Structure 1
Amino acid sequence: MLFDASLRKELGRSFVGTLIVLLTVVITLMLIRTLGQASKGSVSPSDIMLVMGYTVLGYLPIVLSLSMFVAIIGTLARMYQDSEMVIWFASGLGIARLLRPLARFAWPLLVAIAALSLLGWPWSQAQILELRYQFQQRSDIDRVAPGEFQVSSSGDSVFFVDRDSSTLESARQIFLATEEADKSAVTTARQARLDHRADGQTWAVLEQGQRVEQLRAPDPGVRVSEFERYEVQLQRDPVGSPGATVRSTPTLSLLEQSADNANAAELVWRLGLVFAAINYVVLALALTSANPRSSRMGHIVTALLVFVVYFNLLTLGQSWVGRGKVSAPALLALLHGGILLLALVWLMARHYQWSPRRLFKRGVAA
């Protein structure tokens, strides 16, 4: 019991340190990615921190799994190098006996990973989708950015106001290009103002300008007109909600609609994160071994390589299920069940010290 408590304490310290490092890296990468999306107009600059937070929350199961995997391998490698495992083996206990303290350490993390994968991931994706929808569907008034060409929410107009203009309430040097079914028009004006009317509609009143219209069939031609006052109705604030995507669909809904390949692929991804986290505990114990010539970083590199290979297999399996090449239950059984079986056989071979030479000698003796 004393050894188990000491092992779990060291695993906890190693896990926290690894988690802090990985979270720092992930947050930095997500911040750069979110800033890029904001510069392209995909998200609002004021929602950068929210989008980044939801994104990090969605990928937290992967970070927790990797942190747990690296912490277990790093701790066991140190015990081998400091000859603590020699004392463990000398007491008559095999390596498989370490599964109990590892399971006691890992089960809260496995519960958290399951909750984040099955519940947190779709919720965070739904929140990100809502923020992007609100920004993309904002009204034409909110789209005004002095000194920049902006496209209306309907996509049929492009407008520009002078950089010296603060808002559209009192703008100068306006450019407006519109596209309609029978004509296209370019309107310029020296100044503009907003007119909020009693019916709730908002009109942009352009003053002292010119309008050039390119007419199409059946009466093609060009019409140029000058005006002292010209009114353009602006689109009201949008209503409604964004449509649900596969990523933002709750897990229970995916189970009910698992006949669809896209839903089955997303379900395989979420369940795969949980099963992979369980397999990492067994894999870490089976992989770590005594090698005086290898440094601790060698074990960490091995852990990262195994994690990357497993993660790529999970991504590849999701793609196969989405294309209908394999069913979701078959993939879960073959991939995760196969890796768990391989890890258990490997662990038992080390626990009972199986080797081809010893098995051959026993066969000959029999």
Structure 2
Amino acid sequence: MLFDSALRKDLSRSLLATLTVLLTVVVTLMLIRTLGQASKGSVSPSDIMLVMAYTVLGYMPIVLSLSLFVAIIGTLARMYQDSEMVIWFASGLGLAHILPTLMRFAWPLIVAIAGLALFGWPWSQEQILDLRNQFQQRSDIDRIAPGEFQISSSGDSVFFVDRDSSSLEQAKQIFFARSKNEENSVTVSKEASLIQQDGQTWVQLESGQRVQQTYGAKPVIRVMEFERYETLLSRNPVASVQATVRTMPSLELFEQRSDSANDSELAWRIGLVLAAINYVVLALALTSGNPRSGRMTHIITALLVFIVYFNLLSLGESWVGNGVLSGGAWLLILHGGVFAVGMSWLWMRNAQRSFKDLWTKRGEARA
């Protein structure tokens, strides 16, 4: 009991430190990514913090799994180097006796990972999709800002009005460029006003010039000057939210798992939970007391194993989505296989056996 409490205290301190570092890195990366999306016009600048928070929440199962894996490996590596594992073994306890202690420590995190993967992930993706749709569905009038170039909601037009314009309804020094159906046009004018008609927004330009270039077998360039010119700016958008597989509840995915896309998403979410369990077994099996290896060796090994495992998860999601395998078969092959390898490796280390010993005994049996 004393060993268990001491081990869990060390694991708690290591987990807290690891989680703090990883969260700092993830929040920084997500902030940079969200700022990039805002600069491209995918999300509203005012919603940057919300989008970043929802994104971090969606990736928390992965962060918690990596934190748990690194914390266990780091703690066990320190115990080996400080000869604490010698005391553990001298008391008659082997590696197999440490696994229940690790599971008792890890089960609250595994439950949290399950809740975040099965329920938090789709909810956060739905919130992000709603924010993006609300931003994309705003009218082009709302996009226009004096002194700034802005892209229309359809992506085929660019607007610019002078910074000194008093309002968007009565703007000055307008630049309007459009590229559509093998036709480019650039229009400039001194003044412009907005006209709402039949659910559409028109721009009435005055005292300007228009350059129109048409591509094709015979390219044509036309230059015209006008006193008054009207062009369609936008149609009032109809609010519509397109649901994706990532936003579907897990129960709905389970009921509709006959669809390969739904099956792959469900396998991904369940796989995150099973991977967290396997990380505990792999951490105990991987960590050893080699005096020639430093602490960073174990951390690097943990990161490499995590990257390989995570890539296999992504590969399996692609295979299930393409119909190569079913979600249940892939979960059994990948996570069941990793669990079997980890437990076999742990059993061999607990019995103080190696692959070399097994190969030698096999050769002697043949002789």
Q: Same fold (TM over 0.5)?
A: yes
* Shift of residue 357, structure 1, vs aligned partner: 3.5
In 2: Cα distance, 1:260 partner to 1:83 partner: 53
1:317 corresponds in structure 2 to 316
**Residues 265 and 179 of structure 1, relative CA distance in 2, 3 Å threshold:** same
Stretches of structure 1 that go unaligned for 5 or more consecutive residues are: none
Report whether the alignment pairs 1:5 with 2:15: no
* Secondary structure at the counterpart of residue 290 of structure 1: coil
Which amino acid in structure 2 is aligned with residue 299 of structure 1? H
1:301 corresponds in structure 2 to 300
**Residues 105 and 57 of structure 1, relative CA distance in 2, 3 Å threshold:** same
2:165 corresponds in structure 1 to 165
1:292 corresponds in structure 2 to 291
Q: How does 1:94-243 map to 2 (within 5 A)?
A: 94-154=94-154, 157-165=157-165, 167-177=167-177, 187-194=187-194, 204-209=203-208, 226-227=226-227, 235=234, 238-243=237-242
* Shift of residue 352, structure 1, vs aligned partner: 2.3
Q: Is the Cα–Cα contact under 8 Å of residues 61 and 113 in structure 1 kept in the other structure?
A: yes
1:252 corresponds in structure 2 to 251
* Secondary structure at the counterpart of residue 173 of structure 1: strand
Q: Give CA deviations for 1:321-362 in whole Å, capped at 9, x if unaligned.
A: 12222221111001000100111111111222234538839x
Q: Is the Cα–Cα contact under 8 Å of residues 130 and 241 in structure 1 kept in the other structure?
A: no
**Residues 81 and 248 of structure 1, relative CA distance in 2, 3 Å threshold:** same
In 2: Cα distance, 1:30 partner to 1:61 partner: 15
**Residues 294 and 221 of structure 1, relative CA distance in 2, 3 Å threshold:** closer
2:217 corresponds in structure 1 to none
Q: Is the Cα–Cα contact under 8 Å of residues 11 and 75 in structure 1 kept in the other structure?
A: yes
In 2: Cα distance, 1:191 partner to 1:80 partner: 77
* Shift of residue 170, structure 1, vs aligned partner: 3.5
* Shift of residue 239, structure 1, vs aligned partner: 3.5
Which amino acid in structure 2 is aligned with residue 328 of structure 1? G
Q: TM-score, normalised by structure 1?
A: 0.87
Q: Give CA deviations for 1:106-145 in whole Å, capped at 9, x if unaligned.
A: 0110011111111111111111111111222211111103
Q: Give CA deviations for 1:213-259 in whole Å, capped at 9, x if unaligned.
A: 899xxxx99795633x6666764653323201121222112112212
Q: Is the Cα–Cα contact under 8 Å of residues 58 and 125 in structure 1 kept in the other structure?
A: yes
* Secondary structure at the counterpart of residue 191 of structure 1: strand
Which amino acid in structure 1 is aligned with residue 304 of structure 2? L
Report whether the alignment pairs 1:52 with 2:52: yes
**Residues 173 and 315 of structure 1, relative CA distance in 2, 3 Å threshold:** same
Which amino acid in structure 2 is aligned with residue 74 of structure 1? G
1:14 corresponds in structure 2 to 14
In 2: Cα distance, 1:27 partner to 1:148 partner: 29
Q: Give CA deviations for 1:276-311 in whole Å, capped at 9, x if unaligned.
A: 000001111111111111111111111111111111
* Secondary structure at the counterpart of residue 165 of structure 1: coil
In 1: Cα distance, 2:223 partner to 2:10 partner: 81
Which amino acid in structure 2 is aligned with residue 274 of structure 1? V
Q: Is the Cα–Cα contact under 8 Å of residues 159 and 177 in structure 2 kept in the other structure?
A: yes
In 2: Cα distance, 1:87 partner to 1:178 partner: 76
**Residues 211 and 338 of structure 1, relative CA distance in 2, 3 Å threshold:** closer
Report the identity percentage: 68
Q: Give CA deviations for 1:14-33 in whole Å, capped at 9, x if unaligned.
A: 00000011111111111111
Stretches of structure 2 that go unaligned for 5 or more consecutive residues are: 215-219
* Secondary structure at the counterpart of residue 159 of structure 2: strand
**Residues 212 and 96 of structure 1, relative CA distance in 2, 3 Å threshold:** closer
* Shift of residue 149, structure 1, vs aligned partner: 3.9
Which amino acid in structure 2 is aligned with residue 9 of structure 1? K
Q: Is the Cα–Cα contact under 8 Å of residues 79 and 85 in structure 1 kept in the other structure?
A: yes
After superposing the two structures, state which structure 1 stretch, 76-85 or 200-209, moved more.
Answer: 200-209
In 1: Cα distance, 2:162 partner to 2:27 partner: 37
Q: TM-score, normalised by structure 2?
A: 0.86
Which amino acid in structure 2 is aligned with residue 44 of structure 1? S
Q: Is the Cα–Cα contact under 8 Å of residues 137 and 239 in structure 2 kept in the other structure?
A: no
Q: Is the Cα–Cα contact under 8 Å of residues 201 and 236 in structure 2 kept in the other structure?
A: no
After superposing the two structures, state which structure 1 stretch, 241-250 or 73-82, moved more.
Answer: 241-250
1:332 corresponds in structure 2 to 331
Question: Number of residues paired by the alignment?
Answer: 358
In 2: Cα distance, 1:23 partner to 1:325 partner: 35
Which amino acid in structure 2 is aligned with residue 243 of structure 1? Q
In 1: Cα distance, 2:157 partner to 2:292 partner: 69
Report whether the alignment pairs 1:89 with 2:89: yes
* Shift of residue 191, structure 1, vs aligned partner: 2.1
* Shift of residue 178, structure 1, vs aligned partner: 6.1
**Residues 166 and 35 of structure 1, relative CA distance in 2, 3 Å threshold:** farther
Which amino acid in structure 2 is aligned with residue 146 of structure 1? P
* Secondary structure at the counterpart of residue 50 of structure 1: helix
